[in-house]
Structure 1
């Protein structure tokens, strides 16, 4: 597998700057090459289409977020508790415009990438996460359609500003605190979790994140020739 290169990351940095400023539909490979200070053909040495380039950009942002979450879990297993985990994920996402656009399905910014494969992969991880915290007793067992309820609740915090623009807004830290309070009191047991369960669940999820990131990076920096056929 080709290793990540400084040139590839410089191209992705340029693509990200342009995408945030102009939106996916308006950015061309020529624009990206000019922004990166290279020739157009050099971009195609790394990604054979504009779509592959920008999918790699989104996957790189996702990999950075997942690395951050895994590091937090290994530093403090209590971060596996849903109210803490979702608070951290919310703030980490809000700091990354491309991931914020992905979560809210912002078609104006992402164009056709609003349906990026990254969304399906992220949902698979979300499902695995909730299966694990359920197995370890970190969520209540009397909430109907628990995963749906938590997903709906969390999504509301990401989309509130666009859906209800006239509503008084909170800064990201305040919104994250409200999210954590809501999740803890609506979906978690009243009893303190067992430390061994926290440690076991945190280690399992962190390992899962590492596995996911390996597959992400293989796709981000894949040799274009390996995808032909």
Structure 2
């Protein structure tokens, strides 16, 4: 639960692990390093996660949960974020601005090491969630129903915006926002029906997508904080 002292301490450990992972890569980071960066004893880390593997797996799970939590917040604040090109624009910005999420998406073995396998499991869950998102979009008339192999086509069209700079850094003049806007224009032009979407359909889609996101976040949190000791010193 938010504000739980053990949760707060666990998040402090995960924050330290994330910072060191991005800076040094998984192979160089030790539990001692994480404990020192978090300002706690090594034994306290082990009260939460008994191995480096379980610690880093929890870190990757938290990253995915935070991504979905951000989506749920946007949908709650503005149901218009459920329109596909806006939804995918926000998702793009969340991922590319976070080095850990970017590494998980691109399977950056140099950064993640063998934890890329854990990232693969998270990506698999993400693919399933994405397929469900497409289904919500189509059912509420927010995506064209006449596009063959719609989930594949939309995924293929959008994934290139994540990977383009890895293949060719020549367009470094484009800001992250420029790239997000470009992707949104492609999605809107190629995959959304013409005209303004039905406000009632957008509202209904936002409610469904928010519910799915919040359920995923809740399940992730339960995994992340499993095994905490209620009496461990901070």
**Normalised TM-score (structure 2):** 0.90
Give distance in 1, aligned partners of 2:113 and 2:170. Answer: 26
Partners of 2:178 and 2:76 in 1: how far apart? 25
- Partners of 1:224 and 1:163 in 2: CA distance: 42
1:67-216 matched pairs, under 5 angstroms = 67-116=69-118, 117-216=121-220
CA distance in 1, matches of 2:160, 2:117: 19
1:224, distance to aligned residue in structure 2 (A): 6.4
Return 5+ residue gaps in structure 1 as ranges: none
| 1:166-199 alpha-carbon deviations (Å, 9 max, x no partner) | 3454110000000000000011111321111111
- Residues in 2 aligned to 1:91 and 1:62: alpha-carbon distance in whole angstroms: 14
Match of 2:49 in 1: 47
**Aligned equivalent of 1:18:** 20
- 3-state SS of the aligned residue for 1:8? helix
Cα distance in 2 between the residues matched to 1:115 and 1:161: 23
CA displacement at 1:73 relative to structure 2: 1.0
Distance 1:157 1:125 in 2: 20
RMSD, aligned CA: 1.8
2:192 and 2:111 map into 1 onto residues whose CA distance is 35
Greater shift in the superposed pair: 138-147 or 35-44: 35-44
CA–CA distance in structure 2, aligned partners of residues 55 and 95 of structure 1: 21
| C-alpha contact (below 8 Å) 1:61/1:96 kept by paired residues | no
Tell me the distance in 2 between the aligned counterparts of 1:99 and 1:62.
Answer: 7
Runs of 4+ residues deviating >3 angstroms:
1-4, 166-169
Structure 2: segments with no counterpart, 5+ residues: 230-234
Instruction: Supply the distance in 1 between the matched residues of 2:115 and 2:141 (Cα, whole angstroms).
Output: 36
Contact 1:80 1:201 in 2 (8 A): yes
Residues 169 and 155 from structure 1, CA distance in 2 versus in 1: closer, same or farther, beyond 3 angstroms?
farther
Task: Give, in angstroms, the shift of residue 26 of structure 1.
Answer: 1.6
The number of aligned residues is 225
